[in-house]
Amino acid sequence: MLNVAYYNGKISLIEEMMIPLNDRAVYFGDGVYEVVYFKSGKIFALYDHLDRFYNSLRGVFIKFNMSREDLQDLLYSLISKIDDNSEGIIYWQVSRGTAARNHVFPNPSVEPNLLAYVKTKAAPNMKNKIRLITTDDIRFKMCNIKTINLLPNILASQKAEEMGCAEAVLHRNGIVTECSHSNISILKNGVLKTAPLTEYILPGTVRKQLIELCGANGIPVDQTAFTLAELIAADEIILMSTTAMIRSACEINGETVGGKAPDLLEFLQDKYTERIITELNIQ
């Protein structure tokens, strides 16, 4: 198999997997999710993702009884069904269960549903720069929980796509929060500046790892909010996500940005690549 799907114990191709109409993920988006990168049968930063996943479950009061160890074993069993040398992503989500549509939680006897899939996908070239737009952050006040309620993110992503850009930078009254599907930071005068974790900021795993890499290499980190004006004036703009890894921007709303600290940017990207190689023991 190239792309493997899983739903409550059933395994099939993604295209063949069926889920019940009454899964609360279908009509409410009532669930949480995670995405991890894997290569050659090994998963990168899995513990960080599991930490966030179980925190998200607690944040929305979903009682998911599978242990971290059993979930980890399941994820590894899924990637074992594809080619040993492949790389890609594993997506999984847990919804509150299958029950008739009702805004209140279903009966406590209703078990959560676990959906997962493995998709082969080449890692991005982190050195390729991307174009951005800016747009108002209209998301609700639980952005720190990785729920599957992503309609505002979808609208922002579509707006960026229509403008020929790869990402949309979200802001609230001129204060940058994050992007439609990534965290965002800036480099200025040798300092990594990144917004502090609040209800408007997802605790990104790559963001966490980048802060750790800066600490290990003597690069100062300033966890304070920054404005759109500071974003435009930054030496480099850094976007971070599991699928994009660490990318930089060359344009915002048609205006050239960044490109003023290429050595530091490349150093951080290379250190991140080294971390992946070391953790996955890639030869």
83 has a pLDDT exceeding 90:
no
Mean pLDDT computed over 113-134: 96
- Which pLDDT value is given to residue 283? 62
Scanning 174-221, the segments in alpha helix (DSSP H) are 205-216
Distance (Å) of CA 30 to CA 36, 37, 105, 205: 21, 24, 10, 22
Catalytic site residue 146? yes
Mean pLDDT computed over 229-257: 98
Please indicate whether the domains covering 4-120 and 130-280 agree at the CATH topology level: no
**Every domain of the chain and the residues it spans:** 4-120, 130-280
Q: Reduced to 3 states, what is the DSSP secondary structure of residue 124?
A: coil
Which pLDDT band, with edges at 50, 70 and 90, does 48 fall under?
very high
What CATH number does the domain located at 4-120 have? Answer: 3.30.470.10
Query: What is the dihedral angle through the alpha carbons of 122, 125, 126, 130, rounded to the nearest 10 degrees?
Result: -110
Name the burial class of residue 250, with classes exposed (0-12), middle (13-18) and buried (19+) by CB atoms within 10 angstroms of its CB. middle
- Whether 112 and 95 have beta carbons less than 8 Å apart is answered as yes
176 has a pLDDT exceeding 90:
yes
Q: Residue 130 is inside which H or E element, if any? A: strand 130-136
**Tokens standing for residue 225:** 């909010």
Which pLDDT band, with edges at 50, 70 and 90, does 18 fall under?
very high
39, 146, 193, 271: the active-site residue: 146
- Which pLDDT value is given to residue 192? 98
What's this model's pTM, rounded to 2 decimal places?
0.95
282 has a pLDDT exceeding 80:
no
- Which pLDDT value is given to residue 41? 93
Cα separation of 146 and 67, whole Å? 19
Which pLDDT band, with edges at 50, 70 and 90, does 258 fall under?
very high
Least Cα distance to 148 among 71, 210, 62, 207 occurs for 62
Which pLDDT band, with edges at 50, 70 and 90, does 1 fall under?
low
Mean pLDDT, the chain, as a whole number?
96
Q: Which CATH class is domain 130-280?
A: alpha beta
- For residue 179, report the phi and psi dihedrals to the nearest 5 degrees: -115, 180
Mean pLDDT computed over 187-198: 98
